[in-house]
């Protein structure tokens, strides 16, 4: 008998819904503040560390914060 895999989460769809909710809800959405904090920390790290730009640091920090929120 063939076993079925448990239903997999669609990370792309979940992430799109979360970003859309953040855009519509603004600062009232529960994910907005942690993601903005991650952006700020990443931008600061990008400014301090040699070889990184502020934009790359901000994208990495925001992406990590969003990933952390989606994982919960």
Residue 7's pLDDT is 60
Residue 12's pLDDT is 87
pLDDT of 6 over the 60 cut = no
- Write down the pTM of the prediction: 0.78
Contacts of 12 (CB under 8 A, 6+ apart): none
Residue 8's pLDDT is 65
| pLDDT band for position 40 (cuts 50, 70, 90) | very high
Q: Which residues of 14-42 are buried (b: 16+ CB within 10 A; e: fewer)?
A: eeeebeeebeeeeeebebbeebeebbebb
Average pLDDT over residues 5-30: 85
């Amino acid at each position: 008998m063939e076993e079925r895999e448990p239903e997999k989460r669609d990370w792309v769809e979940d992430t799109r819904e979360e970003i859309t909710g953040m855009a519509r809800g603004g600062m009232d959405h529960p994910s907005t503040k942690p993601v903005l904090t991650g952006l700020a920390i990443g931008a600061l790290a990008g400014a301090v560390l040699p070889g990184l730009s502020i934009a790359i640091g901000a994208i990495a920090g925001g992406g990590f914060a969003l990933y952390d929120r989606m994982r919960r």
